[in-house]
Structure 1
Amino acid sequence: MGGADAGVMSRDYRALSIGIVSVVLLIAFEATAVGTAMPVAARELDGVSLYAFAFSGYFTTSLLGMVLAGQWSDRDGPLGSLTAGIAAFATGLLLSGTAGAMWLFIVGRAVQGLGGGLVVVALYVVVGRAYPERLRPSILAAFAAAWVVPSVVGPLAAGAVTEHLGWRWVFVGIPVLVVLPLALALPHIRRRTATREKGAARAPFDRRRLRLAFGISLGAGLLQYAAQDLAWLSLVPAAAGAALLVPAALGLLPRGTFRAARGLPSVVLLRGIAAGSFVAAESFVPLMLVTQRGLSPTLAGFSLAAGGGAWALGSYVQSRPRVEPYRNRLVLLGMLLVAAAIATASSVLIDAVPVWTLAVAWGFGCFGMGLVITSTTVLLLHLSAPEEAGANSAALQISDGLSNVLLLAVGGAAFAALGGGTVSHAATAADGSRPAAFAAVFLPMAAVALVGAWVTTRLRTR
């Protein structure tokens, strides 16, 4: 496994490190690029009314993928989960990129989400099994750094591709780029992550947990469908979705999460509130800039370009040893910055407010997210016994994904109810300007972030 002074880029680990960081890099590029291309895709497919569903469909199926990947990796190692996940991720991109209707585009996003859930968990299992403990912080830091360049370049590149070649190329071009890093990493993953001796019995799947994962995914999907339809008959899928989702969430998350019990439950709840409010708001920012302020997709993407660097800076600040005694105050500051950034987005709906205001505000919001998201992981591990760290980490990811789905459903329903589905490219057109629809997304999400600021007072046990 290499000498004591070997690093993540030493001869023993170089190919593995380059391979898995490249996979993270391409996933990060996809995540930042899709948001830029999505407004154009939704308009061309006549599916602006289902705009939020295109995002939440990804998060809905990723919940199932995360739980499945955890058990699959424990049973057979991460190789199978990682390979299947990347295959599903690429298939979903191709489905969306070649879709002729919005419903098929959303199906592609759902397949992609399943793959994303399989990949993200498998990658962390690879880190835990292929690298010694002293190297894990370095490779995890490389994962975080892999998001910086895509956050800056991704929206600009996707905007340029969308304008000159068409939005479909943003989706169909990425799967080809995954092949080389995966081929580089797979032999090393196979060699370094074996979990059992030949002939040893396999660990059984936890069927109850898989049922709960399926229930939470199906329930979230039904709620999202009901939120987009806004008809009386939608109460039927809404009730069915709630009946599936609520008990599943109670079974998968720590007891006391939904009442903000002190300590670990509030840490898990805060992660969901922070991620959900920010993602739900950010998903509508490019559409708002394109349809209400008349920006091109490239310029709309550029408004979010500084976010990756600001996020990384926030993560770096919270990692410094000298700020450790003030972690809870940093988390509170982070949530206040997130709330302020989302609220500022609604002010850009006023023509007199310069568009660059959003870019500045979003940079501060991303800095706040860097403080909060990484700190929740640190706090969770601090509050977890060693034998509970895996299950609690899974709960943190589930809270993240579930909150994204639910708050996107709420935001999408408010957006559709106020005529957001009829927005056009011309912000000045009588039927193209729907500022109230966007305000109905941004202002409630800012309020949710403020609730998260209160939850930060519940992180310490008495």
Structure 2
Amino acid sequence: MADGTLAPPGKPQDGLFSRPYAVATICFSATMFLTGFAALAVVPTLPTAARELDGVSLFPLVAGSFVAASLLGGVLGGNWADRAGARRPLAAGMALTVVTLLVAASSTTIWQLVAGRFLDGLAAGMVAVSINTAIGEAYPDRLRPRAMALMSTSWVIPSLTGPPLAGLVTEWWSWRAVFYVLAALTVLPSLALVVVVRKRAWAGGDAPVDEKAPRPALFTAAVVSVGAALGQYGVSGWSPQHGIFALGALALLAVLAPRLLPPGTWRAARGLPATVLLRGMGSGTFFTIEAFVPLMLIDARGAPAVTVGLFFTGAAVIWAAASFVQGRLLEHWPRHRLVAIGSVLLALAVAIAVVGTLPEVPRLTAGAAMLVAAAGMGVLEPSLVVLSLSHSPPGRRGYASGAMQTTMNLGQITVLGLFAAALNVGLAAGVDDMTGYALAFALLLVPGSLPLLLSGRVRAG
């Protein structure tokens, strides 16, 4: 409409790019595209950067600080979005992305690089939660699955082109150039986004605020984020020092993490708590498969790195395709049934990974687990996000999106950490590499199957 507000929802002919929603759709897609490049393209540069800065021993902290800080960014962005509308944390997150890229690019010590990655994770968490919150306010119920599918698709090109391009730039020029180029590419669209969102009324600023609802403490979120980052370092080795960090991080998460989540999350109470819990379990299962299947193929089974890289490409495409299917072809299916379907695919992926450890099967068999898991997440994740918005009234969708971001990161950290710990314990006990991987992958059946067992508890009223 001419005044920048949305037309009444529900017209059958309306789509994501129809007049009432076109500007919002373009802004959200462009933002996710840029965020994807900033998050994914720098990953191949980190080992080179750590080596040049004499910080290889701290590489687990460099790699884990992004995910850990995303937890804090999700809480901060969700809290801010509920109180002032999603447009402000969205703009702030994009501006912070540019700053963090410059901080990392100019690193003179490994600790400055860690700080840059931590701030980048903070920005990414704010952006992701702000977009989910704004989608809840900008689109009617029937368009939200399509919007979430489009957000997933916006990550495909960064997933396909970002890492190889960054690898080439690092090899031919410098790892610092990757950060500087990304900062330059992001600054102008970020400024444009700030201008656009200030003129729009679709970002949730007019939603009523529930002042009596409990808000997660930002200090608690900050402590949990730091503890999660240190936990990543703790599970990366097998020594008394690593054990102290791992136990300390586990204690922090056990005591403080529940304060960031809806009451009843750990017992899977119906509605939002169960939805939040299943987001963490599904995300943790997928990203553990994505992290350790390539490691097993390259380190233990001698698979070519280029071939393994093709599985990453295939997983990105399949995730986007599955997300498109749930948003368009299956948009009228009950969301809790799609959650069950996604969980079945995740459990099947875990089974394939276990079979892929057997010496009798072709060594690339385990790579198929990444493809099947991506299909499961393409159906599961958008469905859970849509359900979280359905379970949350206006004025509380920022809180719900922040809780979903928190459990996504906690799930990745916890499940991946437990997997690494189980693998290290097995190897320390004297089992061979493949047996250790088989036992560790088998443990993933627990978080991978929970969404199927509890799918009825996320059903929307």
TM tier, shorter chain?
Answer: 0.7 to 0.9
Letter in 2 for 1:72: W
Letter in 2 for 1:400: M
Tell me if the contact between 1:32 and 1:154 (Cα under 8 Å) persists in the aligned partners.
yes
Task: Decide which of 219, 223, 229 is 2:231's aligned counterpart.
Answer: 223
Task: Decide which of 180, 198, 202 is 1:190's aligned counterpart.
Answer: 198
**Stretch of structure 1 that moved more, 184-193 or 131-140:** 131-140
Distance in 1 separating the partners of 2:137 and 2:340 = 34
Q: In the alignment, is residue 119 of structure 1 matched against residue 163 of structure 2? A: no
Tell me if the contact between 2:346 and 2:377 (Cα under 8 Å) persists in the aligned partners.
yes
Letter in 2 for 1:178: T
Q: In the alignment, is residue 73 of structure 1 matched against residue 72 of structure 2? A: no
Identify the residue that residue 450 of structure 1 maps to in structure 2: 449
1:70–1:415 CA distance, 2 compared to 1 (3 A):
same
For 1:14-163, what aligned pairs fall within 5 Å after superposition? 17-36=25-44, 52-96=60-104, 99=107, 104-127=112-135, 139-162=147-170
Gaps of 5+ in 2: 8-12
RMSD: 4.3
Shift of 1:179: 1.8
**Stretch of structure 1 that moved more, 295-304 or 231-240:** 231-240
TM-score (norm 1): 0.77
Shift of 1:367: 0.8
Identify the residue that residue 321 of structure 2 maps to in structure 1: 313
Distance in 2 separating the partners of 1:98 and 1:283 = 28
Distance in 2 separating the partners of 1:36 and 1:265 = 36
Letter in 1 for 2:70: S
Distance in 1 separating the partners of 2:298 and 2:109 = 21
Tell me if the contact between 1:51 and 1:412 (Cα under 8 Å) persists in the aligned partners.
no
Shift of 1:41: 5.8
Distance in 2 separating the partners of 1:49 and 1:342 = 30
Shift of 1:368: 0.8
Identify the residue that residue 392 of structure 1 maps to in structure 2: 400
Shift of 1:293: 5.0
Distance in 2 separating the partners of 1:363 and 1:215 = 35
Letter in 2 for 1:256: G
Identify the residue that residue 428 of structure 1 maps to in structure 2: none
Distance in 2 separating the partners of 1:393 and 1:282 = 24
Query: SS of 2:312's equivalent?
Result: coil
**Stretch of structure 1 that moved more, 158-167 or 65-74:** 158-167
1:217–1:232 CA distance, 2 compared to 1 (3 A):
same
Tell me if the contact between 1:273 and 1:448 (Cα under 8 Å) persists in the aligned partners.
yes
Identify the residue that residue 364 of structure 1 maps to in structure 2: 372
Tell me if the contact between 1:304 and 1:359 (Cα under 8 Å) persists in the aligned partners.
no
Query: SS of 2:365's equivalent?
Result: helix
Identify the residue that residue 273 of structure 1 maps to in structure 2: 281
Shift of 1:215: 3.6
Q: In the alignment, is residue 337 of structure 1 matched against residue 357 of structure 2? A: no
Shift of 1:189: 0.9
Letter in 2 for 1:448: P
Identify the residue that residue 262 of structure 2 maps to in structure 1: 254
Alignment deviations for residues 46-89 of structure 1 (CA, whole Å, 9 cap, x no partner) = 77765554443212111211222223334444454334323433
TM-score (norm 2): 0.78
Distance in 2 separating the partners of 1:460 and 1:126 = 22
Distance in 1 separating the partners of 2:77 and 2:396 = 17
Alignment deviations for residues 87-141 of structure 1 (CA, whole Å, 9 cap, x no partner) = 4333444454565665554333212111111222233455566778887666544
Shift of 1:450: 2.9
Identify the residue that residue 377 of structure 1 maps to in structure 2: 385
Tell me if the contact between 2:265 and 2:277 (Cα under 8 Å) persists in the aligned partners.
yes
Shift of 1:369: 0.8
Distance in 2 separating the partners of 1:288 and 1:382 = 40
Distance in 1 separating the partners of 2:87 and 2:406 = 22
Query: SS of 2:263's equivalent?
Result: coil
Instruction: Give aligned pairs, total.
Output: 446
Tell me if the contact between 1:159 and 1:301 (Cα under 8 Å) persists in the aligned partners.
no
